[in-house]
Amino acid sequence: MVKWGNRARRVHHKIVSLSYQSLIVQILYLQTLEAISPKKVLPGLLEKYNGQPVQVIATGKAAIDMACALVKAGADIKHALVITKKGHVSSEQQSVLAFPYIKILEATHPIPDAHSEKAGRELLQFARSLDPAIPIVYLLSGGTSALTAVPADGLALQQIRDVTEALLKSGATILEVNTVRKHITQVSGGQLREAFPEGAVLHTVVISDILDNDMSVLGSGPCVPDPTTIQDALAVLERYKIEAPKMHKETPKKSYDKDTVDIAISNLHAAEAFKNGADKAGIPSEISPEIITGDAQETGRKIAQEVRARLQKSTDPIMLIYRGEPVVTIDKACTGSGSRSMEVVLSALLELHDIPGVTIAGFETDGTAANTDAAGAIGESGLIDQASGRSALLAHDTYPFFKKTGCLITTGPTGNNVCDIYIAHIHQK
As a whole number of angstroms, the distance between CA 295 and CA 326 comes to: 6
Q: Once rounded to an integer, what is the mean pLDDT over residues 336-360?
A: 96
pLDDT of 6 strictly over 90: no
The pLDDT of residue 8: 35
User: Is residue 10's pLDDT more than 70?
Assistant: no
Q: What is the mean pLDDT of residues 119-134?
A: 98
SS3 (DSSP) at 182: helix
Does 83 share its domain with 19?
Answer: no
pLDDT at 15: 31
Q: Are residues 19 and 74 in the same domain?
A: no
Whether 26 and 117 map to the same domain: the answer is: no
Cα(202)–Cα(259) distance, integer angstroms: 5
Strand partners, 358: 426
- Which of 214, 242, 265 terminates a domain? The answer is 265
pLDDT of residue 335: 83
Provide mean pLDDT across the span 374-390. 94
Of the residues 216, 234, 265, the one at which a domain ends: 265
Q: Compute the average pLDDT of residues 356-382.
A: 93
Q: Is the pLDDT of residue 20 over 90?
A: no
Q: Is the dihedral of CA 320, 323, 324, 327 positive or negative?
A: positive
What is the DSSP secondary-structure string of 303-350?
HHHHHHHHHHH----EEEEEEE--B----TT------HHHHHHHHHHH
| pLDDT score of 19 | 80
What ranges make up the beta strands (E) of 173-258?
202-207
What is the C-alpha to C-alpha distance for residues 5 and 334, in angstroms, rounded to an integer? Answer: 38
Mean pLDDT lowest among 1-15, 52-66, 205-219: 1-15
Among 265, 298, 316, the domain-final residue is 265
**Helix, strand, coil % (nearest 5) of the chain?**
40, 20, 40
User: What's the rounded mean pLDDT across residues 248-276?
Assistant: 97
Answer yes or no: do 258 and 354 share one domain: no
Q: Identify the pLDDT of residue 334.
A: 82
CA distance 328 to 323: 16
The total domain count for the chain is 2
pLDDT in tens, 68-85: 999 999 999 999 999 999
- Per-residue pLDDT tens digits for 277-322: 999 999 999 999 999 999 999 999 999 999 999 999 999 999 999 9
Q: What is the pLDDT of residue 330?
A: 86
In the DSSP assignment, the letter for residue 219 is: G
Mark whether 52 and 75 lie in a shared domain.
Answer: yes
Is pLDDT at 2 greater than 80 in this prediction?
no
State residue 36's pLDDT score.
Answer: 97
Q: What phi and psi, each to the nearest 5 degrees, are found at residue 324?
A: 145, -160
Q: Is residue 381 domain-shared with residue 406, that is, in the same domain? A: yes
Q: What is the maximal distance between C-alpha atoms in the chain?
A: 66
Domain identity same for 94 and 145: yes
> In this structure, what DSSP letter does residue 95 have?
H
Residue ranges making up the domain that contains 306: 2-35+268-426
Instruction: Looking at the structure, tell me whether residues 49 and 82 fall in a common domain.
Output: yes
How far CA 47 is from CA of 44, 76, 183, 207, 330, in Å, comes to: 6, 12, 37, 17, 45
Q: Kindly state whether residues 128 and 232 are assigned to the same domain.
A: yes
- Give the chain's mean pLDDT: 93
Distance CA 323, CA 286 (A): 11
Q: DSSP 3-state assignment of 187?
A: coil
Examine the domain organization and report whether 332 and 201 are in the same domain.
no
The span from the CA of 83 to the CA of 81, in Å, is 7
Indicate if the pLDDT at residue 4 is higher than 80. Answer: no
pLDDT in tens, 163-178: 999 999 999 999 999 9
Please compute the mean of the pLDDT values over residues 334-361 and round it to a whole number: 95
- CATH code assigned at 16: 3.40.1480.10
28 and 78, same domain (yes or no): no
DSSP β-bridge partners for residue 379: 360
pLDDT at residue 7, as a whole number: 38
Q: Residue 344 to residues 90, 160, 377: CA-CA distances in angstroms?
A: 30, 29, 9
Q: Which residue has the higher pLDDT, 228 or 10?
A: 228
pLDDT tens-digit profile of 182-235?
Answer: 999 999 999 999 999 999 999 999 999 999 999 999 999 999 999 999 999 999
**Residues 237, 123 share a domain:** yes
84-105: average pLDDT: 94
